[in-house]
Structure 1
């Protein structure tokens, strides 16, 4: 999608947002049953008769007792949640584009030629860009993640039977803070992996460009 959209030049922020949303939506729909099983395995004690012994047992058990609808419980929220990845990629591309423009300007100011080997940012820049974009995306979309987890948790199904009830109950019990419970822990969990992923991706992409040009 990115290659198709950038044939006429650089992607705009809007194009980046749309293409990232399309890819994230497909991923969310395909992986939702796994997320349902994961949430229930985490929130159900192993001694509970309703606990799942593994992924396959969870999938088959939910399908047998709740049907396909049970496997796709929370899908609407998952689709809302594609904005997380979309916002992250949009912010990341904007920061990276600014960094590249600044680097080219520095080369031009110094009178140095800008070669393909130079078409790469420092790893620290990639780390800062990916970390900042992830923090931005999480801060905006975290309330949906809290709501989705409570909807998919079988143990609290009687408390949060649907999205409107879940939102109203969470707000009445904890206020706005209730929608951001666990945010700091989530930052610690996702930031290292996200930063490493982007650094590895950018370095491999750069090496492939170098190899293709030689």
Structure 2
């Protein structure tokens, strides 16, 4: 997929493909300076799922071009647009998820000597995901709204920051506004469920291969490898829900619901529309996932006195 360039002079000389290039109407240089996007480095990847052809969208050739354009227009501040809810959301989500997941696993295993099956890991992870989403969905709505503000002029932005966005969304849209995309988010709990089921299965098989107890501590490289494999598998299977959820939370488009998003995406972009940005997304999430799982495994063992 190619995202069209924000420079009208360049795009005017490019071959047209309605499914792969997004166009901008001609505009003056001064207008371009105030309307080109404002995502931070991680959020350059986030713009791909919502690139549905609307003319007000930022237009980039790719991640590198996105970063260069934002740097020229807004400097370092523009590269970190939406980073606050991203930090809060990611930190709270992982912390709550591991808390719920391990609590549910412990409850399920209480009084048993046998290991949990793959299905039980799947159910435990899904339940943990649903509980986590109930608490963190407003943060992700806020992140989406902040990232998808396309004015480079800070004085013309509707949301000034995370708390301002939370207050304004609640004031104008109520609780439903803070929980936009919640239903596809629930569907998305299957992502984490598949990831944890795969991760736990890989750990079990690795320890079995090494003739070690199931919960034995593995090497950092082994944890990183298993985390990466499980993440790739989960993303490949469940990515379309992320596209649907992001578009529902986008303030620049008005969908009547999940069915409307799916219908319009399919009609306008075909099957490719449901996988927009998957590769850049993998590039972004795999390193974070590997680090998170590695730190969790080692810190939890250290706290339990099992670290050698």
The two structures have a TM-score, normalised by structure 1, of 0.87
- Partners of 1:45 and 1:80 in 2: CA distance: 29
Alignment partner for residue 54 of structure 1, among 144, 161, 165?
161
Contact 1:33/1:72, CA 8 A, preserved across alignment:
yes
- Tell me, yes or no, if structure 1 residue 186 matches structure 2 residue 284: no
Offset of residue 58 of structure 1: 0.6
RMSD of aligned residue pairs (Cα, Å): 2.2
Unaligned runs of 5+ in 1: 105-113
Offset of residue 71 of structure 1: 0.9
Contact 2:148/2:250, CA 8 A, preserved across alignment:
yes
Q: Any idea what SS the aligned residue of 1:161 has?
A: coil
1:5 aligned partner: 108
Offset of residue 99 of structure 1: 0.1
| CA deviation map 1:116-175 (0-9, x unaligned) | 9x9322221111111000001111111000000001001112xx3321111011111111
Contact 1:20/1:86, CA 8 A, preserved across alignment:
yes
Alignment partner for residue 96 of structure 1, among 203, 207, 220?
203
Offset of residue 42 of structure 1: 0.6
Alignment partner for residue 36 of structure 1, among 130, 141, 145?
141
**Count of residue pairs the alignment pairs up:** 201
Contact 1:40/1:51, CA 8 A, preserved across alignment:
no
Contact 1:44/1:155, CA 8 A, preserved across alignment:
no
- Partners of 1:58 and 1:208 in 2: CA distance: 37
The answer to which structure has the higher helix fraction is 1
1:108 aligned partner: none
In the TM superposition, structure 1's runs of 4+ consecutive aligned residues that sit over 3 Å from their partners are 46-50, 205-209
- Tell me, yes or no, if structure 1 residue 140 matches structure 2 residue 237: yes
Judged with a 3 Å threshold, the aligned counterparts in structure 2 of structure 1 residues 102 and 174 are, in CA distance, closer, same or farther, namely same
Contact 1:33/1:71, CA 8 A, preserved across alignment:
yes
Moved more, 164-173 or 40-49: 40-49
The two structures have a TM-score, normalised by structure 2, of 0.61
Alignment partner for residue 86 of structure 1, among 182, 189, 193?
193
